[in-house]
Amino acid sequence: MGILKASKIKKVYGKKLFAQEVLKGIDLEVESGEFVGIMGPSGSGKTTLLNVLCSIDRPTEGIVEINGQSLQKMKSKQLSTFRRTEMGFIFQDYNLLDTLTVKENILLPLSVGKTSKQEAETRCQQLAKQLGIQDILKKYPNEISGGQKQRTAAARALIIQPSIVFADEPTGALDSKSASALLESLGTLNKTNHVTIMMVTHDPVAASYCSRVLFLKDGQIYTQVYKGDKTRTQFFQEIMKTQGVLGGDGYEA
Amino acid sequence: MKLSTLVIRSMRKNIKHYYLYFFALIFSAALYFSFVTLQHNEAVVKLTHSSMKGEAGFKVGSILLVIIVFFFVFYANQLFLKRRSKEIGLYQMIGIPKPTISYMLTIENMVLWIGATAIGILVGFFFSRFFALIFLKVINTKREVTLDFSTAALFQTILVFALLLAIVLLQTMWVVHRTSLLDLFKATSKAEQKMKKMNPLQILLGIVGMGLIIYGYYLSTVLFEMDKTITLKDLYIKMGTILGSVIIGTFLTFRYSIAFIMNMIRISKNGHLSLNDVLAVTPIMHRMKSNALSLSIITLMTAMALAILSLSYISYYSVDAQTENYMPYDLAILNHKGEQKFENALQKENIDYKKYDFDLLNAKIDTTPLLEEKLNEDLVKNISMDNIVIKESDAKKIFPKIQLAKNEAIMAGYSDVFRKFMPLKIGKSMIVYVGKEKHKVKLMEIEKQASISSQITYGNPAIIIQDELFYQLQKNTSVQKKTIWKSFVGYNITKPSQMEEAISLYKKATNNGTFKMGEQDGVTTMIQIDAKDELYKQDLENVGLIIFITGFLGSAFLIATGSILYFKQMTEAEEERDSFMTLRKIGFSTDDIMKGIYRKQLFSFGLPLLIGIFHSYFAVKSGWMFFGSELVVPLLITMGIYILLYSIFAILTSNYYRKIIKEIL
């Protein structure tokens, strides 16, 4: 079943003479339970695509549907509610609220809405256990490490049991050990909880945890590779190869 | 690139931040200059009856104004520097030595100050006309006042602002000196204090803080208790204690109690916060350490402004009531002297009037049994037994509802001051002496409104009794002997437009309102009766100056506290930008977030206001009776207007937040 369906997405910045087409008509479909990576050189429109797909930004043209509902037909307030109930977000710089404890940060998306307290508590404890942060629930963000922060952010994204999770360079600010721990957790959650994840990354290692990787170039989908039955290492090599063909340095933000 | 180019560029780049600072400066300069212009204008000072008092009033006012302006400018500069701390750090990073940075900021400040003071003086010059108009309105005169540009005021303003600039420059240099490169990276996280578990000492201090406030309030209610023999020194000590305990209490409350209460709420939620908690409770908790001092100062300034404004408004408002008490009618004649002549003159000029005729008796009445509390011996001895008595049928003209039995009485014209110091109990009985007989007469009611001039009753209330008892008293020789003023006739002129004419006729008929009574033993008693209109004008001019100066200062306080809170919230909004962005991204709408922001504003503005109102209420309540005769209405009006104006700042702040939250995504 298709969770996310995007057709003919165009995004133009600036006006008339100075117009710059960042996305040039992208068609995309994501099935339930997929772990999709988006890769591409700087300026290829990765983050813009993600922002458009997750309704933070509006496309100039084209339609995005999530769970069969068109985002373009919704008003800003409806979109907010839709984001809060259907989508989870993980950002590169964590975006945790410094004034809240880890637990309060995780429970934040439920602060408006009808989820019962027991239900929220159970979900929170379960996610904390799965992500290995149950010991730091009472701490503040400035008392924990970057990896722990990002796992907190992941828990916050998942607490609402979203249809889809959007992750924008989630490992960008992490060291390789924390990064692989986080990706490991995301991979497990993807498999056990059937969470659909869409992740923008420039890191081939991170991308190798995905089930499918899209390559963007100059605002268009250049190609995509599937993991299929390959091992992670094999998949990683395939990604590297594609990136080589694509050209451009993959190692910039 | 030359240093001067850098200065100009950074100023142009920072113009948005400058706005706030620049307007704060212009506003202060304008306010100060217009006030000083009025101070140096002889015509204005001489308008007030006693010019000595006027000059002193303006002097005290201008000193207080400098203090307010100083606080205001100092605070604005501090915020301004905080906002630019990153820039200062950056200059250091690229290798500009600290003295050069100080020098740059000094030039910037000088340019700003000179510009702002010049504009402020110009604006202030126009303001001063406006203020002069208000002033004339307050003292209700139609006299003209010309305002010239005063060089003395100009020099005074320049001097004061040059001094303030020097202080601000020192502050700036100190801040530059203190910032290290490390601060550049910590700039934002530094403001946020880690919320640790409350230790018992803090909880105790929080409780002590609230206790101190309550203790101060309690002391203020018993400040002027009559039953104790208090010396002036005791009074000062008591006042000092009240002030001290309330000030310290306020600080401790802000510093510990509020964080403690909020922490309790937070802990009780066990992580399941509502969005309102997230936006209102937690940021406030985190900032309480750095905000406690400024919130306390704002609270105390609010309390002071409110108390000053209330008290002066009470005196202004009470001019009416006090004049009314002193002289309840437009004009009055004693012992029918010149009555016929006056009335004939009025009729000849076709002036309509209403006449109130009272027969008076001076009777010996012991009113001490009416007292609610026993007074000490010395005071009781001083209470005069001489009371002016009016008969019921006369009093009915102004109190149509009264209905008395033989042993019942009503008091009229018992002022609030007396009520406060010597409360009387309705239903108790006073003793009326008729020769050797004693009559017990029950007090049925106390009327605030006076029936006859308090000049005749020695400031005591007049006692209204039933006609039968009145005639019984009238027959008594000792009463007859003591009664100097046998009658009082009050006149109310129907048309206000004819008042002036009536007054001049009255003066002709009654020898300028002087009533003499040749008495036994060759002593003459003389009373000067003034027309109410003239009394009122005199009183108004006397309190007009005070209300004007206090009003001026009160508004300055209000605007200063409001602006400081506004600046503060602006900075907080900027600091919380990232949080708002996160919230918007993960799916909270602007309206959801604004609900929390309104809560926060309610707290940021409401709490200092609420505590300030309580402080000022108790301050006013303890001593208002020295200022006037009305408490409730002027107090409510003052507070109402203050709250209204104050909420404008809260609305402005909320709009600023909304703008930020909206544009963030």
Provide the ipTM.
0.89
pLDDT band of residue B53 (cuts 50, 70, 90) is low
The pLDDT of residue B661 = 92
Mutate to test the interface with B, among A100, A115, A166 (most CBs of B within 10 A): A100
Contact assignment for A109 to B272 by CB distance below 8 Å = no
The pLDDT of residue B328 = 85
pLDDT band of residue A153 (cuts 50, 70, 90) is very high
pLDDT band of residue B11 (cuts 50, 70, 90) is confident
Higher pLDDT, B526 or B331: B331
pLDDT (average), residues B514-530:
73
Position A171 in a domain: yes
The yes-or-no verdict on residue B69 having pLDDT over 80 is yes
pLDDT (average), residues B190-208:
69
The yes-or-no verdict on residue A252 having pLDDT over 60 is no
Which residues 6+ apart lie within 8 Å of B224 measured at CB? B420, B421, B622, B623
Q: Which of A82, A100, A120 sits opposite B282 (nearest CB)?
A: A100
pLDDT band of residue B428 (cuts 50, 70, 90) is confident
Q: What is the DSSP letter of B61?
A: H
Distance (Å) of CA A162 to CA A85, B203, B485 = 7, 42, 94
How close is the nearest chain A Cα to the Cα of B12, in Å?
Answer: 26
The reply to whether A139 touches chain B by the CB within 8 Å rule is no
Out of B35-39, B70-74, B197-201, pick the least confident.
B197-201
CA distance A247 to B6: 42
CA distance B426 to B412: 13
The pLDDT of residue A250 = 45
The yes-or-no verdict on residue B50 having pLDDT over 80 is no
Contact assignment for B275 to A111 by CB distance below 8 Å = yes
The yes-or-no verdict on residue A228 having pLDDT over 60 is yes
pLDDT band of residue B655 (cuts 50, 70, 90) is very high
CA B605 to chain centre: 19
Contact assignment for A111 to B273 by CB distance below 8 Å = yes
The reply to whether B480 touches chain A by the CB within 8 Å rule is no
The pLDDT of residue B227 = 53
CA distance B292 to B256: 9
The reply to whether B591 touches chain A by the CB within 8 Å rule is yes
Q: Which of B270, B278, B578 sits opposite A111 (nearest CB)?
A: B278
Higher pLDDT, B526 or B254: B254
The pLDDT of residue B190 = 43
pLDDT (average), residues B546-560:
84
Q: Which helix (H) or strand (E) holds B489?
A: strand B487-493
Chain A residues whose CB is inside 8 A of the B584 CB are 80
Q: Which of B578, B579, B589 sits opposite A76 (nearest CB)?
A: B589
The reply to whether A103 touches chain B by the CB within 8 Å rule is yes
The pLDDT of residue B504 = 86
Q: What percent of chain B has pLDDT over 70?
A: 90
Position A181 in a domain: yes
CA distance A210 to B465: 102
The pLDDT of residue A213 = 94
Contact A38, A246 (CB under 8 A): no
Q: What is the 3-state secondary structure (H, E, C) of chain A?
A: CEEEEEEEEEEEECCHHHCEEEEEEEEEEEECCCEEEEECCCCCCHHHHHHHHCCCCCCCEEEEEECCEEHHHCCHHHHHHHHHHHEEEECCCCCCCCCCCHHHHHHHHHHCCCCCHHHHHHHHHHHHHHHCCHHHCCCCHHHCCHHHHHHHHHHHHHCCCCCEEEEECCCCCCCHHHHHHHHHHHHHHHHHCCCEEEEECCCHHHHCCCCEEEEEECCEEEEEEECCCCCHHHHHHHHHHHHHHHCCCCCCC
Chain A residues whose CB is inside 8 A of the B583 CB are 97, 108
pLDDT (average), residues B465-493:
85
For residue A41, the domain's CATH number is 3.40.50.300
The pLDDT of residue B381 = 66
Contact B324, B631 (CB under 8 A): no
Q: Which helix (H) or strand (E) holds B351?
A: none
Residues 180-209 of B with CB under 8 A from A: 189, 192, 194-195
The pLDDT of residue B192 = 47
The yes-or-no verdict on residue B556 having pLDDT over 90 is no
The pLDDT of residue A45 = 87
Contact A95, B585 (CB under 8 A): yes
Position A128 in a domain: yes
Strands (E), B413-452: 429-434, 437-447
Contact B100, B3 (CB under 8 A): yes
Higher pLDDT, B191 or B171: B171
The yes-or-no verdict on residue B505 having pLDDT over 80 is yes
pLDDT in tens, B564-592: 888 888 888 888 888 999 999 988 999 98
CA distance B78 to B354: 66
The pLDDT of residue A157 = 93
pLDDT in tens, B388-423: 888 888 888 888 888 888 888 888 887 766 777 777
Structure tokens given for B537? 């004008």
Residues 161-190 of A with CB under 8 A from B: none
Look up tokens 């560029």; give the residue: B9
pLDDT in tens, A185-220: 899 889 888 889 999 998 999 999 999 999 998 889
Number of compact structural domains in chain A: 1
Q: Which of A84, A87, A99 sits opposite B588 (nearest CB)?
A: A84
CA distance A64 to A69: 8
The three-class DSSP label of residue B484 is coil
The reply to whether A112 touches chain B by the CB within 8 Å rule is yes
pLDDT band of residue A245 (cuts 50, 70, 90) is confident
Contact assignment for A109 to B283 by CB distance below 8 Å = no
The pLDDT of residue A5 = 92
- Whether the CA torsion B219, B220, B224, B230 is positive or negative: it is positive
pLDDT (average), residues B621-637:
83
Read off the amino acid at residue B492. N
Chain A residues whose CB is inside 8 A of the B589 CB are 76-77, 80-81
The yes-or-no verdict on residue B197 having pLDDT over 80 is no
Chain A residues whose CB is inside 8 A of the B195 CB are 140
The yes-or-no verdict on residue B433 having pLDDT over 80 is yes
The pLDDT of residue A1 = 65
Q: How many helices (H) and strands (E) in chain B?
A: 24, 10
Nearest to A184 by CA among A203, A206, A169: A206
Chain B residues whose CB is inside 8 A of the A120 CB are 272
Instruction: Give the domain extent around A185.
Output: 36-58+75-246
The pLDDT of residue B432 = 85
Position A177 in a domain: yes
pLDDT band of residue B385 (cuts 50, 70, 90) is confident
Contact assignment for B585 to A110 by CB distance below 8 Å = no
CA distance A29 to A66: 10
CA distance A226 to A35: 10
Higher pLDDT, B451 or A31: A31
Position A212 in a domain: yes
Position A22 in a domain: no
pLDDT (average), residues B101-115:
88
pLDDT band of residue A38 (cuts 50, 70, 90) is very high
Mutate to test the interface with A, among B582, B591, B658 (most CBs of A within 10 A): B582
Position A12 in a domain: no
Task: Give per-residue burial for A53-86: e unless 16+ CB within 10 Å, then b.
Answer: bbbbeebeebebbbeeeebeeeeeeebbbbbbeb
Which residues 6+ apart lie within 8 Å of B592 measured at CB? A80, A112, B275, B583
Contact assignment for A100 to B581 by CB distance below 8 Å = no
pLDDT in tens, A62-105: 999 998 889 888 888 888 889 988 899 999 888 998 888 899 99
Contact assignment for B272 to A121 by CB distance below 8 Å = yes
Nearest to A180 by CA among A189, A190, A170, A168: A170
The yes-or-no verdict on residue B97 having pLDDT over 70 is yes
pLDDT (average), residues B99-128:
89
Read off the amino acid at residue B185. F
pLDDT band of residue A251 (cuts 50, 70, 90) is very low
CA distance B99 to B118: 28
pLDDT (average), residues B496-512:
84
How close is the nearest chain A Cα to the Cα of B279, in Å?
Answer: 9
Position A52 in a domain: yes
Chain B residues whose CB is inside 8 A of the A124 CB are 271
Higher pLDDT, A9 or B547: A9
